[in-house]
């Protein structure tokens, strides 16, 4: 037991554990807040009058704020566990992140203000704000992942000050936009599946049609991104470094760009191909089960979302932010973390509080289960 504890608390193991925790938090955000974003994106297309829009909005109304806890946890984990990644990302992706922040600010304002006045123009304006609040983050998060896979133009001075030589419009390259389409279609699919659980009638029928469209777009775009990554984009590989317990100094290693390097982990462990396969399978089963087994369909699309993110994470490991300016200045799991003591304290805090968050979230969804109908929103002043 003592040996196991010592192994878990070693610096190299803690670094991998926090890489896994970060993945869990990002997946938690994408799964839990992702269907909220998907419903917002679908709002103008699945609801054609005020009652129908209120049904769609109230389907996510009781839980969307709690779901954003995962976004805060993910950002906090990057800040505390991977401070070099946090500083580089918030410097290089500043405009993109501000755009996402402004879009997310529209959500609480849209939810709270759209029903303050009965004027159709007033409500219509806020409905489009909710659409923007769903569409923009869904697209931008995918674009960000696409640029990470290509490498971003960052480099470090000798005093470890980070410099970013790119701009916002440089992020909008063809592969980055393709990954944005993957992300957008994936979350629209997930949101449409959630509406299968929470609505009835015409809103549910329209959501079912959009589910099929989004699942198809996701599958095609995900496959195309994989082929492009295999044959058109060089990956990164470490050739020399101080070891998994070395100091967090991104300048103390040597790395190179190499064709096919993003598939090294998959070649070394062929079982990992199950991860992207489950992404495709989840999309198909979500579409297949949506009519008669909406609960299973929701689990299927949640699995698809999780496995899509895991596919990229496994491909990049141990890289977190590859540098296209100088591959040896890339940030990795082995040289971008906080101290061992910080990771250890954060580990125990996560072990204590993450299960509580999951338990509370599960309880909330259990209490709020059941469909939202037009009669419900017409007969209650507490609904949005």
Distance between CA atoms of residues 302 and 193, nearest Å: 9
pTM passes above 0.85: yes
User: Residue 331: inside a domain, yes or no?
Assistant: no
The pLDDT-based confidence of 112 (bands split at 50, 70, 90) is: confident
Q: Does 292 reside within a domain?
A: no
Beta strand pairing call for 154-156 and 162-164: antiparallel
The string over 96-118, giving b where at least 16 C-beta atoms fall within 10 Å of a residue's C-beta and e elsewhere, is: bbebbeebbebbeebbeebbeee
Q: pLDDT-derived band of residue 376, with 50, 70 and 90 as boundaries?
A: confident
> pLDDT at position 307, please?
97
CA angle 74–79–80, rounded 5-degree value: 100
pLDDT reading at 382 higher than 70: no
Inform me whether the pLDDT recorded for 1 exceeds 80. no
Answer whether residue 10 is part of any domain: yes
**Domain-embedded: residue 269:** no
Query: Which residues, in sequence order, are CB contacts of 297 under 8 Å at separation 6+?
Result: 193, 196, 285, 286, 287, 288, 289, 290
Residue in the structure block whose two tokens are 């309880």: 363
pLDDT at 3: 78
Q: Which of 129, 138, 124, 103 is nearest to 29 (CA)?
A: 138
Residue 245 maps to a domain: no
Which pLDDT band, with edges at 50, 70 and 90, does 381 fall under?
low
CA distance 34 to 74: 14
21, part of any domain? yes
Q: Write the pLDDT tens digit of every residue in 203-242.
A: 999 999 999 999 999 999 999 999 999 999 999 999 998 8
User: Kindly report the CA angle at 300 between 299 and 306, in degrees rounded to 5?
Assistant: 85
Mean of per-residue pLDDT scores for the chain? 91
Closest CA to 45 of 252, 157, 210, 180: 210
Q: Is 39 exposed, middle or buried (0-12, 13-18, 19+ CB in 10 A)?
A: buried
- Expressed in percent and rounded to 5, the helix, strand and coil fractions of the chain are 70, 5, 20
Is residue 4 predicted with pLDDT exceeding 80? no
Six token digits for residue 44: 């103008």
For the chain, how many structural domains are there in total? Answer: 1
Q: Return d(Cα 107, Cα 137) in angstroms, integer.
A: 11
Asked if the structure places residue 194 within a domain, the reply is: yes
Q: How far apart are CA 242 and CA 144, in angstroms?
A: 29
186 — pLDDT class (breaks 50, 70, 90):
very high
**Residue 107 belongs to some domain of the structure:** yes
| HSE toward the beta carbon, residue 373, CA cutoff 13 A | 6
The size of the chain, in residues, is 384
> Which residue range forms the structural domain that includes residue 19?
2-234+340-378
Share of the chain above pLDDT 90, in %: 62
């Amino acid at each position: 037991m003592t040996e196991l504890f010592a192994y878990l608390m070693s610096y190299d193991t803690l670094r991998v554990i926090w890489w896994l925790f970060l993945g869990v938090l990002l997946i938690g955000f994408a799964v839990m807040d992702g269907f909220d974003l998907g419903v917002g994106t679908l709002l103008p297309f699945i609801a054609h009058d005020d009652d129908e829009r209120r049904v769609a909005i109230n389907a996510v109304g009781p839980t969307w704020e709690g779901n954003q806890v995962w976004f805060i946890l993910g950002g906090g984990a990057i800040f505390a566990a991977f401070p070099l990644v946090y500083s580089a990302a918030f410097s290089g992706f500043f405009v993109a992140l501000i755009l996402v922040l402004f879009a997310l600010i529209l959500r609480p304002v849209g939810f709270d203000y759209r029903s303050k006045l009965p004027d159709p123009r007033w409500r219509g304006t806020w409905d489009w704000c909710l659409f923007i609040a769903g569409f923009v983050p869904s697209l931008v998060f995918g674009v960000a992942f696409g640029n990470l896979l290509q490498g971003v133009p960052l480099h470090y001075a000798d005093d470890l000050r980070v410099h970013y030589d790119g701009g916002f419009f440089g992020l909008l390259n063809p592969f980055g936009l393709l990954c944005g389409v993957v992300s957008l279609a994936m979350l629209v699919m997930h949101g449409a599946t959630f509406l299968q659980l929470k609505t009835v009638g015409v809103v549910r029928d329209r959501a079912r049609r959009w589910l099929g469209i989004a699942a198809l777009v996701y599958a095609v775009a995900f496959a195309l991104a994989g082929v492009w990554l295999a044959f058109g984009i060089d990956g990164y590989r470490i050739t020399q470094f101080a070891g998994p317990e070395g100091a967090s100094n991104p300048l103390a290693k040597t790395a190179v760009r190499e064709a096919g390097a993003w598939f090294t982990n998959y070649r070394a462990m062929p079982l990992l191909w199950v991860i992207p396969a489950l992404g495709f399978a989840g999309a198909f089963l979500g579409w297949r089960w949506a009519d008669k087994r909406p609960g299973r369909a929701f689990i299927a699309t949640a699995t698809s979302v999780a496995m899509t993110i895991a596919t990229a994470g496994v491909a990049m490991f141990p890289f977190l932010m590859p540098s296209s300016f100088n591959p040896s200045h890339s940030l990795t799991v082995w040289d971008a973390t906080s101290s061992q003591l910080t990771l250890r304290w954060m580990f125990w805090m996560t072990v204590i509080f993450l299960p509580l968050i999951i338990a509370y979230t599960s309880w909330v969804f259990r209490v709020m289960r059941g469909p939202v109908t037009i009669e419900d929103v017409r007969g209650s002043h507490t609904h949005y």
